[in-house]
Amino acid sequence: MDDALSSEAAMVNDRPGRLREFWFYFRENRGAMIGLAIFAVFTFLALFGPWVAPHDATAQFRDATLQPPVWQDGGTWTHILGTDPLGRDMLSRLIVGARFSFFVGVFVVCIAATGGIIIGLIAGFSPKWLDSIIMRIMDIVLAFPSLLLALVLVAILGPSLTNAMIAIAIVLQPHYVRLTRASVMSERQKDYVTSARVAGAGTMRLMFVTVLPNCLAPIIVQAALSFSTAILDAAALGFLGMGAQPPTPEWGTMLAEAREFILRAWWVVTFPGIAILVTVLAINLMGDGLRDALDPKLKRS
């Protein structure tokens, strides 16, 4: 009666390492690979931007203000993407600016996800009254328009990039709490959780070893999405003058500074905008691939 069991067992004998296996499935998703490539460039620039950039990001070339990109009349190879109203090199500023956006993304996602997952797990495992209190607080935070709440927080804390990041993290946190709690609630009903309890697993073990790994897929997608939301929100706060302060070459702040030249010099707003767009898109593509590769149920057996 065990013949059926053994025939397919012979196929795979030794399993590849966990990382190699993940890579195998991730590689099959073309969109995710493109996203990963762009994200790698983005990460490289974030780490080594100041050494890669052709000019100093804050140096002002007074004789070359608002110079168009190289392929337009009047453009030069010295400033490939042109210069801004103060004569600063656009390309250098974009490259150096990657660092701030990257930092914002990583910081915000780490804070919001860690906090959100822990609070969500507690809410999912706690008695009903504590769960209600936690979820009502999260509802209150969600009821505010997120950018407005971030603005208020920044206004209280004072305008700077760090405070903007803290504000964005607080605003994004309830999404993680809800997502985690919802998955925890549905997973907790399942028999494998009961059997872990019968085996003697304590609450901590149930939370982090048994249940949490099964809730991670939506959280990872949310993390990838909010990485880009964080970059967008930071740019928006920068645009409103509440985020990074000039002369920091942050992409949103660059947009804000160039606002009055939109009609005269398209390149001063277009390039920071494209930088934000491409980065956000790449991260979202990567997030989708990450989800597919991390979910064992979607793998071929």
Instruction: List interacting residues with other proteins (CB under 8 A).
Output: 1-2, 4-6, 9-10, 12-13, 15, 190-192, 194-201, 205, 210, 213-214, 296-297, 301
Please report how close the Cβ of residue 202 comes to other proteins at its closest, in angstroms: 8
Listed in sequence order, the DSSP H helices in the chain are 3-9, 18-27, 30-52, 90-125, 128-143, 146-157, 161-188, 191-198, 203-205, 212-239, 251-257, 267-294
Please report how close the Cβ of residue 13 comes to other proteins at its closest, in angstroms: 6
24 or 44: CB nearest other proteins: 24
* Coil vs helix vs strand at 83: strand
18 or 62: CB nearest other proteins: 18
Please report how close the Cβ of residue 6 comes to other proteins at its closest, in angstroms: 6
Please report how close the Cβ of residue 57 comes to other proteins at its closest, in angstroms: 45
57 or 212: CB nearest other proteins: 212
24 or 192: CB nearest other proteins: 192
Which residue in 258, 210, 284 sits closest to 94, CA to CA? 258
8 Å CB contact between 42 and 282: yes
8 Å CB contact between 249 and 123: no
CA distances from 299 to 25, 82, 209, 241 (A): 7, 48, 21, 46
CA distances from 44 to 32, 48, 57, 206, 218 (A): 18, 6, 17, 39, 27
158 or 200: CB nearest other proteins: 200
1 or 19: CB nearest other proteins: 1
Q: Which amino acid is at 171?
A: V
Q: Which residue is associated with the tokens 């860690």?
A: 114
Which residue in 115, 134, 111, 114 sits closest to 124, CA to CA? 134
Please report how close the Cβ of residue 54 comes to other proteins at its closest, in angstroms: 48
Please report how close the Cβ of residue 298 comes to other proteins at its closest, in angstroms: 10
* Rg of the chain over all Cα atoms, to the nearest angstrom: 24
8 Å CB contact between 271 and 247: no
159 or 205: CB nearest other proteins: 205
Please report how close the Cβ of residue 214 comes to other proteins at its closest, in angstroms: 5
Please report how close the Cβ of residue 137 comes to other proteins at its closest, in angstroms: 24
194 or 245: CB nearest other proteins: 194
